[in-house]
Chain A
């Protein structure tokens, strides 16, 4: 039973498509999403330095045609920007908990 299961898995995997390399279009879409989130964070006066660094790395990789790396860096920048937006929103009230009274 165990052997037939292994064989089935091997068979299935052999037909699974290999991970597709990112295209320029993937990069442009990922970068646009990251840039939009980053602009929103900057508009809230709560941009993070690491977001700027990740965006710059994405642009550099994209310009050099390394779209896999460019997409990964764009996604990282977007995640960081979204975290900074979350921080800015939650701190609108949360700061009061730290206040000396």
Chain B
């Protein structure tokens, strides 16, 4: 009888210990933890592609394919985004009608700050992207906003990215539940399947980087925004982050959201944060 009680007591204790050990994990899994997410995200790519230098992921498909990389390096001698860079530099320095310039709207006069965008604005309670901040600057100075998907915005962001080249992505998530929610919403958007083709962003850029989709080699999600904006041969022109999101949605046969919709701002926040520590390489060039 004594032995039976002892076995029962031991089983009960073991069950309690097991419960105590597993419970916190369940709670932790439900908690929004951007730092842990970013570490897991980066490790996934570092382990999947052990031969790719960490800082090389920002070069998208060129980090996955040696032949393409050689072609790109040659192309970089006369980069196709150069005209946009020149236009952006001129636009950036040209005063608005009221005499002010973009430099008046940004920290450090807008030079070398790309790596800090998007940021979470605690006053507004939302994510503010660089494209959004540029248009807000224009409107605050009495100018009409630019289209988020056309050349002017791409030129401006190309110049600003260029002044940040080599600086490490440094996105902050303030201790604010709304910021954590924005990060989580961005993460959900990134992994959610949509469109008739039933693709999520992750279907291509997590599950299949380095693989071909028709003639193209898919870029890894890690560092994918560090190269933005990009000149795409397919577009015969420059494209902003907004344009990239809109096009990706259309390609899965999903009706795109309006540029700078909350979902797009949040997914930009998520993707940029998980690329913290990787260099800005924009503007980029892609096939």
Give the CA-CA distance A100 to B191 in the complex, in Å: 9
| Interface 0/1 of B199-239, CB less than 8 Å to A | 01011001100000000000000000000000000000000
Residue of A nearest to B254 (CB): A48
Which residues, 247 to 287 on B, are CB-close (under 8 Å) to A? 250, 253-255, 257, 263
Q: Verify A98–B191 contact, CB threshold 8 A.
A: yes
Q: Is A96 an interface residue (CB 8 A)?
A: yes
Q: Is B192 an interface residue (CB 8 A)?
A: yes
| Chain A residues closer than 8 Å to B202, beta-carbon distance | 98
Which residues, 84 to 101 on A, are CB-close (under 8 Å) to B? 84, 87-88, 91, 94-96, 98-101
The smallest beta-carbon distance between B190 and chain A, in angstroms, is 9
| Chain A residues closer than 8 Å to B136, beta-carbon distance | none
| Chain B residues closer than 8 Å to A91, beta-carbon distance | 192-194
| Chain B residues closer than 8 Å to A50, beta-carbon distance | 196, 253
| Chain B residues closer than 8 Å to A100, beta-carbon distance | 37, 40-41, 44, 206
| Chain B residues closer than 8 Å to A80, beta-carbon distance | 196
Between A and B, how many residue pairs show CB distances below 8 Å? Answer: 53
* Secondary structure class of chain A's binding surface, majority of residues: helix
Given contacts A87-B194, A98-B203, A98-B206, 15 further A-B contacts (CB under 8 A): A45-B257, A48-B195, A48-B253, A50-B196, A52-B255, A80-B196, A87-B198, A88-B194, A91-B192, A91-B193, A95-B192, A98-B202, A99-B187, A100-B37, A100-B40
A residues contacting B by CB (< 8 A) are 42, 45-50, 52, 80, 83-84, 87-88, 91, 94-96, 98-101
B residues contacting A by CB (< 8 A) are 29, 37, 40-41, 44, 187-188, 191-196, 198, 200, 202-203, 206-207, 250, 253-255, 257, 263
